[in-house]
Amino acid sequence: DAKTTQPTSMDCAEGRAANLPCNHSTISGNEYVYWYRQIHSQGPQYIIHGLKNNETNEMASLIITEDRKSSTLILPHATLRDTAVYYCIVRVAGGSGGGADGLTFGKGTHLIIQP
Amino acid sequence: NAGVMQNPRHLVRRRGQEARLRCSPMKGHSHVYWYRQLPEEGLKFMVYLQKENIIDESGMPKERFSAEFPKEGPSILRIQQVVRGDSAAYFCASATGSYEQYFGPGTRLTVT
């Protein structure tokens, strides 16, 4: 799986959009970008994933650059409960073609939402 | 649809005892993953199982650790002769085999 680089920590004001960057310059054509987060002491939580098109769900939006070398996770209206460590992970998709292997978690970005 | 369930949530063992951690995947999920998170460290993949098969155990310590996912019942992560360095949070995740994994709340193992 390709390596990812994320800032160690970020602050964001409550109610504002939180934009979390991730660099993955060695990403391969068949690798997806996944985002998970871990709120203190809890199990990691899946947020969103994408291949090359921008994606949006009820939790967040994922913007992937055209060259796919970087991406940004956007939490549109951050709340105090969004304080967590956010992990950007690049991996081949699962399914019968393989890629259903374990996730490789880096150090992630510690996002702190300020009241 | 209940999420991934793990029990016990907290487990205390003395050095030399055995620890058994259980994971019930989400309904319809046939893929189970175990991860370990040592204090102040990141999550590390340990093992990936499908029903009755170990698919990838590249992250498992070579000794004292084993895992199974029987045809019936939960997946079990077993640690024999625990040592203080085994103290950690152990997380289980399940998936249908494609895309996202869903994690349980974890078992906190403390070895005294």
Classified as helix, coil or strand, A20 is strand
CB contact under 8 A, B42 and A46: no
Average pLDDT over chain B reads 93
Contact map slice: A 26-85 vs B, CB within 8 A: 32, 34, 38, 41-46, 49
Cβ atoms of B13 and B109 within 8 Å: the answer is yes
CB contact under 8 A, A100 and B98: yes
Sequence-separated (6 or more) residues with CB below 8 Å from residue B86: B19, B79, B109, B111
Sequence-separated (6 or more) residues with CB below 8 Å from residue B52: B69, B70, B71
Six-digit token string for B18: 């055995």
Taking only the tens of pLDDT, chain A with its 115 residues reads 668 999 999 999 999 999 999 999 999 888 899 999 999 889 999 999 999 989 999 999 999 999 999 999 999 999 999 999 999 999 886 544 455 678 889 999 999 999 9
Q: Does B45 touch chain A (CB under 8 A)?
A: yes
- What pLDDT, on the 0 to 100 scale, is given for residue A95? 46
d(CA A54, CA A64) in angstroms, rounded, equals: 6
Identity (one letter) of the amino acid at A69?
Answer: K
Please name which of B18, B29, B1 lies closest in space to residue B77, comparing C-alpha atoms: B18
Confidence band of B99 (pLDDT split at 50, 70, 90): low
d(CA B112, CA B107) in angstroms, rounded, equals: 16
CA-to-CA dists, residue A48 to A63, A87, B4, B65, angstroms: 11, 11, 18, 32
Q: Does residue A104 or residue B107 have the better pLDDT?
A: B107
Confidence band of B67 (pLDDT split at 50, 70, 90): very high
| Whole-angstrom Cα Rg for chain B | 13
Q: What is the pLDDT of residues B13-59, one digit of tens each?
A: 999 999 999 999 999 898 999 999 998 888 999 999 998 899 999 99
- Asked if residue B1 has pLDDT above 90, the reply is no
Closest residue in A to B46 (Cα) is A102
d(CA A59, CA A18) in angstroms, rounded, equals: 12
Alpha carbon of B25: minimum distance to chain A alpha carbons (Å): 14
- What pLDDT, on the 0 to 100 scale, is given for residue B106? 97
- What pLDDT, on the 0 to 100 scale, is given for residue B98? 65
- Please spell the DSSP secondary structure of A55-115, one letter per residue: EE-SS-EEEE-TTSSEEEEEETT--GGG-EEEEEEEEE--STTS----------EEEEEE-
* Backbone phi, psi, residue B85, to 5°: -70, -10
Mutate to test the interface with B, among A1, A6, A105, A109 (most CBs of B within 10 A): A105
* Backbone phi, psi, residue A81, to 5°: -70, -10
- What pLDDT, on the 0 to 100 scale, is given for residue B100? 84
